[in-house]
């Protein structure tokens, strides 16, 4: 599963931290992290993969409390996030800054979290430390797992079409929320005890027709199911339904 790390960097501190964080995370290997630097020259794009944003604090005037805030230099990143507003791909915000600025420390990240309705999951100072890398990575992976759980349907969201003599016959798993259909399933290899929506048919052709119609008429994606438990992999549940 790919996770994009969007950031903006003027002094180089954020670039240094995010690059090292991506390297650290990719060495662990649970997810694929791709650092993406946003600048004034960047073209706003639709983010198709889940992403975090890393926001330094650059202010020109104000104390961050009562005298207002004049933000500079992170507008390109804000524009990119705003371009993806409502996509539900933004997993969280990570802030950075200088603690000597007191109330203005990570102020921009806090404001981004409110503006874009995303949790601010971690912070670090200046270029960060190795312990910061480990801590931020831990918070990111925790948030990723939350995100996957949010996008994983319960057994009640899935339905199974199978031959009435399911000991000997085939079946097919269907997720109507995400427009997914499985390969033709061999009954002995899968556990359907948690499913509540099961339709039994008489002829094997009805199972194949159910799968074929979903693919060719309703344009469902065929996504193979693996393992004993009847469920689509988490990666299959992050895409959005494509409208014709």
Q: In what order do the strands lie in the sheet with 171-175?
A: 197-201, 158-163, 171-175, 180-181, 221-222
Cα 243 to Cα 240: distance, rounded to the nearest angstrom? 9
Q: What is the CA radius of gyration of the chain?
A: 23
Per-residue confidence (pLDDT) for residue 167, from 0 to 100: 59
Cα 11 to Cα 25: distance, rounded to the nearest angstrom? 23
Global pTM reads 0.66
102 backbone φψ class: left, alpha, beta (φ>0; ψ -120 to 50) = left
Per-residue confidence (pLDDT) for residue 168, from 0 to 100: 64
Cα 174 to Cα 159: distance, rounded to the nearest angstrom? 5
Cα 133 to Cα 54: distance, rounded to the nearest angstrom? 13
Cα 203 to Cα 237: distance, rounded to the nearest angstrom? 30
Per-residue confidence (pLDDT) for residue 148, from 0 to 100: 85
Q: How long, in residues, is the chain?
A: 244
Q: What is the mean pLDDT of each run of 10 residues along the chain (244 residues)?
A: 94 97 96 96 90 88 62 80 86 92 84 90 95 97 89 77 78 91 83 86 93 92 84 68 60
Domain coordinates of the chain in residue numbers? 2-150, 155-237
Q: Which CATH number fits domain 2-150: 3.40.50.360, 2.40.50.100, 2.160.20.10, 3.30.43.10?
A: 3.40.50.360
Per-residue confidence (pLDDT) for residue 244, from 0 to 100: 55
Per-residue confidence (pLDDT) for residue 75, from 0 to 100: 86
């Amino acid at each position: 599963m790919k996770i994009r790390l969007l950031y903006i960097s003027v002094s180089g501190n954020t670039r240094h931290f995010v690059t090292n964080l991506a390297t650290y995370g990719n060495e662990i290997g649970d997810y694929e992290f791709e650092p993406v630097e946003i600048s004034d020259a960047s073209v706003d794009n639709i983010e198709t993969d889940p992403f975090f944003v890393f926001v330094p604090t650059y202010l020109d005037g104000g104390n961050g409390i009562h005298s207002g805030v004049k933000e500079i230099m992170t507008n390109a990143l804000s524009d990119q996030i705003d371009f993806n507003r409502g996509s539900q791909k933004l997993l969280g915000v990570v802030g950075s800054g200088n603690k000597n600025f007191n109330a203005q420390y990570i102020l921009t990240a806090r404001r981004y979290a409110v503006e874009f309705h995303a949790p601010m999951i971690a912070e670090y100072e200046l270029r960060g430390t190795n312990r910061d890398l480990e801590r931020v990575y831990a918070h990111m992976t925790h948030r990723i797992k939350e995100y996957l759980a949010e996008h994983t349907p319960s057994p009640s969201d899935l339905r199974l079409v199978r031959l009435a003599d399911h000991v000997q016959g085939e079946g097919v798993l269907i997720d109507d929320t995400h427009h997914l259909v499985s390969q033709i399933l061999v009954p002995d290899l899968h556990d359907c005890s948690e499913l509540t929506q099961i339709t039994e048919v008489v002829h094997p052709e009805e199972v194949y027709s159910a799968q074929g119609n979903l693919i060719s008429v309703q344009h469902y994606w065929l996504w193979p199911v693996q393992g004993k438990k009847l469920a689509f992999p988490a990666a299959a549940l992050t895409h959005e339904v494509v409208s014709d």
